[in-house]
Structures are given as C-alpha cells and as structure tokens.
Amino acid sequence: MTEPTKVILGTATPGGGFPVYGAAVVEVVNAADASLLLQPRNTKGSTENVPLLEAGQLDIGLVQGEVVHEAFAGIGRPPAQLKIIAAMYSTPGMFVVRADSPCRSIADLKGKAVAFGAKGSGLVILARYVLDGIGLDQERDFQAIYLERAGDGPAMVADGRAAALWGAGLGWPGFGAVAKAPGGARFIAPNAAETQRILAKHSFLRAMGVPAGSYPGQDAAIASVGSWSFILAGPALPDDIAYRLARALHRREAALGALLPQARETTAANTVAAAPGKDLIHPGVLRYLREIGLTP
C-alpha cells in the first residue's frame, strides 16, 4: 500500500481564526483524498508563514490579504515566489468593544489601549493600512497592544486592560468571545467617509461587509474594508499535489462550509475572482480550474 503524501499546512497562534479554519480544511481534504495527508502546524501567523513557505519548512500556509499583497508586490522585501492554492475568505476589519463602552467611532478610540492582535498576524498589518488611510498611526495614536496568542485579546477587553480588540472576518473567534460575554459587545468600523479615504489611498483593499447576525447580538449589517486571505504554496510544491489539493477542497466545498460558516467563501469561483492575477495561481490549481470550466 502506498503511503499518503504528507503536506504541512501552516496556520497561526491558538485562539485565532486560522487554526480553526485550518482544522476544517485538514478534515475535508483528508476525507476527500486518501492519497494526501494534510497536517496542520501552529505558527506565529501570516508574517511567519511567508518565510517558512519560502524556506520549504511549510508546504502550504494560510496568509492574510495584506501580507499576501506585500509579499507579491515586494514591499519591504523581494517579491515572493509563492503561488495561490485557494482563496480562503473575505476579511472585513473592525474593532469590538464592550457594549457598555462609551466609544462609538474609531476617533473615540484614539489614545486608548487597543489589542491589535498577535505579533505575527496579518490582522495587525490590516489595521495599519486601515488606520493610515484615515491619517492615524497604530503606535502614535493608540496604546497599541500586541499579543503572544490571538486568544488572549477577549479577556483583555472583558477586564478593561484594553478598550477594544481589532480583528476581521466572519466567525472570527475573538469577536465571538467578546460578543458572548455578559453584557455583550458593540462593533466599530470605518464610516462611509473614512471608507472612501481608505480605499482611495490603498486601492488593493476592498469594500466588504459583515452580514447581520454574524455575531451574537449583532442585529445590523456592518460595512467595512478588508481583503481576501489565501492558502499559499511554497515554490517547491509539485503541480500534481496542488492539483489534488484543489480537487479535494473544491469537490467538498459544501462539507467545508458545513464545518465552518466563513469557509463557505472557499470556492473555486472565489479563487478565480479574488486572485490578484491569474499568473499567481499555482499551475496545478489552474489545471483543475480549467477542468471544471472556470478558466480558459
């Protein structure tokens, strides 16, 4: 009997969205293709996953949109020779505060302690771009807190060590934890004028929304800005492995979405639509996308 091909998937620190998503992907892929053995590995997050992929220490990794943008564009580093396996989900960014907080706008948070996420998380970089778009600076205008573990943030909001927690996406564990706490929560996102300024300055970001009911007590939809996160492959991942990963993932899209609501956005169609360029999609994945008629 042939041994399955081991594929190492880099996620992030416990308590954040990436390990939860990674666990769902592992379950679905391993059930769909017995020739693959996908194994998750906790890392420091997006900013560590890129160099680990480049060094061949990970086969594939979860990377938040702003880190993907900087890696492909060569911002602060040489352009990364990585490829897209799949679009994960959209990540509209926002703050969460306790429901009894007097803060109702981003301006109200100025000067206050804000937990921006784990040190290696792409969410920290998303916050930097969003705030820069409205003329604010993480370090100068806030008492910025960077976490060792993503899961530490909600407790800091609950006990008052932080006025707010920054995060992104649908079903993000940190938001869910604050919203489920006694007293509930309130979300703060850029207003319409701020959104226009952000998108004008950072055109790679997109207008995105959080549907009503995405979190406990969230009765209205929330408009914000963000990006798509991606599963990226290292430069040495063979075309055949990429093809089998894409096939396993997309043949079981319904199963993946049933495991995790935000993973309903992990579709072959969204990979085609969200990729910054077709040339950035792994050749093995493109082969599968051609087979199912999504690319010529």
Q: Which two tokens stand for residue 12?
A: 């992030």
pTM exceeding the 0.75 threshold for the entire prediction: yes
Q: How far is CA 25 from the centre of its chain?
A: 14
Does domain 91-226 match CATH 3.40.309.10?
A: no
Q: Which two tokens stand for residue 19?
A: 């390990």
> E-assigned strands of 125-242?
143-147, 164-168, 185-188, 206-210, 222-233
What is the reported pLDDT for 121? 86
Residue 242's SS3 state is helix
Query: Where does 33-75 have alpha helices with state H?
Result: 46-54, 65-73
Contact (Cβ atoms closer than 8 angstroms) between residue 292 and residue 267: no
Class of domain 5-89+228-291: alpha beta
pLDDT (tens, 9 = 90+) of the chain, 296 residues, equals 689 999 999 999 998 899 999 999 999 999 999 999 999 999 999 999 999 999 999 999 999 999 999 999 999 999 999 999 999 999 999 999 999 999 999 999 999 999 999 888 899 999 999 999 999 999 999 999 999 988 899 999 999 999 999 999 988 999 999 999 999 999 999 999 999 999 999 999 999 999 999 999 999 999 999 999 999 999 999 999 999 999 999 999 999 999 999 999 999 999 999 999 999 999 999 999 999 999 98
What is the reported pLDDT for 1? 67
Task: Give the start-to-end residue ranges of the domains of the chain.
Answer: 5-89+228-291, 91-226
**Matching fold, domains 5-89+228-291 and 91-226:** yes
Q: Residue 289, class by beta-carbon neighbours within 10 Å (0-12 exposed, 13-18 middle, 19+ buried)?
A: buried
CA-based nearest residue to 126, from 83, 73, 43, 68: 68
Q: What are the phi and psi torsion angles at 129 (to 5°)?
A: -70, -45
C-alpha distances in Å from residue 257, one per residue of 39, 253, 286: 20, 6, 22
